[in-house]
Structure 1
Amino acid sequence: MTEPESESDATTTILPLFPLQTVLLPGTKLPLHIFEPRYRQLTADLVSGTVPGREFGVVALRSSLTREVRGLDQLYEIGCSTVLREAKRLPDGRFDVVTQARRRFRLRELDCVSAPYLIASVEWVDDDPPAPSGGMADCLATVARAAHQRYCETAWRSEDWHAPDPDTTLAELAYALAADCLLPLEDRQRLLEELHPLRRLRIACRLLTRETGFLNTLGAVPLPPGELTDLSRPASLN
């Protein structure tokens, strides 16, 4: 397996791939319970250093009915790499792991036969160069943070969410705001694919405002994030 290229290098590299029924956003943490044999092997390879940098790719499945990935058409084109931070091997061979999402990629080719798990050729995806925006960016960031606070105060108990750090960059802010919120897969994928930081922040603001309106109208709140364990489990790909 080749060493991942630097983030500034636009050439392709090779990553192990973990399809999920969710979208991973850069900077966020992803806990996983690893039970399938192929992904137990992937975890073992990550822990042992067989996979360079302990980095692998997470990409969303286009259909919840998918049980075996055979081609690129079954996956969204843009995914996010993540780095293994913690791994606990259980007595029966399963793993509980925590990973930290790192950088976006575009799928180029899929290899279904060289390893027990999927391997992909990917190209790293960077944001477009930011255009001068004056005070617009600061104003938008303030509005988006306020939308995030309204959503979280409606949906969660105070201990279930936190405001992003004040020094969070414009490029990272939309991801940080969405991390505490339960958004449909398609909306999270839209955020992941948006290459312009200001547009991405506008999208996040609109989505949070919309979801807060839904919660107020329905008079219901979702389960706390810690209780939504099934969202981080992969579809059965046996």
Structure 2
Amino acid sequence: MTERLPIFPLDAVLYPGLVFPLQVFEERYRRLVADLVALPEGQPQRFGVLAIKDGREVAPVTESDKPAGPLDGLGTPTGDPLEALYHIGCVADVASVTPHTDGRYELLVTGTTRFRLSAVDTSGPYLIGDCEPLEEQDGSGAGVLAGGVERAFRAYQKRLAGARQASLAGEQELPDDPQVLSYLVAAAAVLEVPVKQKLLACPDTASRLSTELELLRKETALINWLPSVPAVELTRQPFSPN
């Protein structure tokens, strides 16, 4: 059943179960948040998050600095949003909203369910999308693959910590549920947005775990040859001002 949701484009990927902090600067998305806050009590405050295909760091610029192309200077898709955005995203439920005197908001949201974008209404101050929920299937062999991904992820963590001359503060508890594990690994691994989007879009848990197993082995081997690695904390959640 299709649901109409406000759309929040990001240069990051939101996954089901992921807790995600956002700072909202740009006027149209401040309006989006204000409209959610104004909803009657008991009505869910939620919106759809979609990754921008040509993702870039979101930062305000002057009019003369704005580049030509599918994004404006604030990371907002221009032209045809269906061309500028990936079509599979994740619904974000708002857990908390903190307004500031300068008009910006701090949000804490939780990813819930995946959806496929089928159409976009551009007539209002922000995008409204027709979002078709995507049910998650286990796929064949998800349980067995989960064990391999857990071992590969722990090896990846150790190699990454070693490359940074850092130590892991004890061994993390990893979820037993293959689906939850697949999304946790996708969120925690240091990967480019297109790769993270590919993981979100996998048709089932087994496919995601299989892809992650290959990626983790490749990334772990690569770390051994690199003199340094990106300065991104492995378990830090993405932070995307918009």
One of 73, 77, 80 as aligned partner of 2:83: 73
Q: TM-score, normalised by structure 2?
A: 0.80
Mapped pair 1:146 → 2:151: yes
The 8 Å contact of residues 20 and 239 in structure 2, kept in 1 or not, is answered as: no
Whole-Å Cα distance in 2 between the matches of residues 228 and 130 of structure 1? 29
Q: Distance in 1 between matches of 2:54 and 2:137?
A: 29
> Against the structure 1 CA distance between its residues 226 and 128, is the aligned structure 2 distance closer, same or farther, given a 3 Å change threshold?
closer
Structure 1 equivalent of residue 66 of structure 2: none
For 2:224 and 2:234, the matched residues in 1 are separated by 22
Aligned to 2:115: 105
Q: Percent identity?
A: 32
Matched, 1:37 2:27: yes
Please give the alpha-carbon distance, in whole angstroms, between the structure 2 residues aligned to 1:100 and 1:149.
Answer: 25
**Structure 1 or 2: more helix by fraction:** 1
Q: Which residue of 2 aligns with 1:232?
A: 240
CA distance in 2, matches of 1:58, 1:203: 23
Q: 1:131-160: per-residue Cα shift (whole Å, max 9, x none)?
A: 4x4xxx433211100111112222244259
Shift of 1:230: 8.0
CA separation of 1:218 and 1:129: change in aligned 2, threshold 3 A: closer
Contact kept, 8 Å, 2:190 with 2:232, in 1: the verdict is no
Q: How many residues align?
A: 217
Letter in 2 for 1:196: D
Per-residue displacement from partner, 1:49-96 (whole Å, max 9, x unpaired)?
269411101101111352233321111111111111122111211111
Q: Which structure 2 segments of 5+ residues have no match? A: 56-68, 162-166
Say what the alpha-carbon RMSD is for the aligned residues.
2.6
Output the CA distance in 2 between the equivalents of 1:227 and 1:52: 32
Cα 1:172–1:25 shift into 2, 3 Å: same
Find the aligned partners of 1:160 and 1:97 in 2 and give their Cα distance.
30
Q: Please report how far the alpha carbon of residue 125 of structure 1 lies from its aligned counterpart in structure 2 after TM superposition.
A: 0.9
Which TM-score applies when normalising by structure 1? 0.81
Report the more deviating stretch, 147-156 or 187-196: 147-156
Secondary structure in 1 matching 2:44: helix
CA distance in 2 between partners of 1:195 and 1:224 (Å):
28
**Residues 70 and 112 in structure 1, CA contact (< 8 A), matched pair in contact too:** no
The whole-number CA distance in structure 2 between the counterparts of 1:210 and 1:146 is 14
Q: 1:216 aligns with which of 207, 218, 224?
A: 224
Q: Tell me, in whole angstroms, the C-alpha distance in 2 between the residues paired with 1:16 and 1:180.
A: 26
- How do 1:194-209 residues align onto structure 2 when only pairs under 5 Å count? 194-209=202-217
Q: In structure 2, give the amino acid aligned to 1:183.
A: L
Where does residue 106 of structure 2 map in the other structure? 96
Letter in 2 for 1:197: T
Q: Which residue matches 2:61? A: none
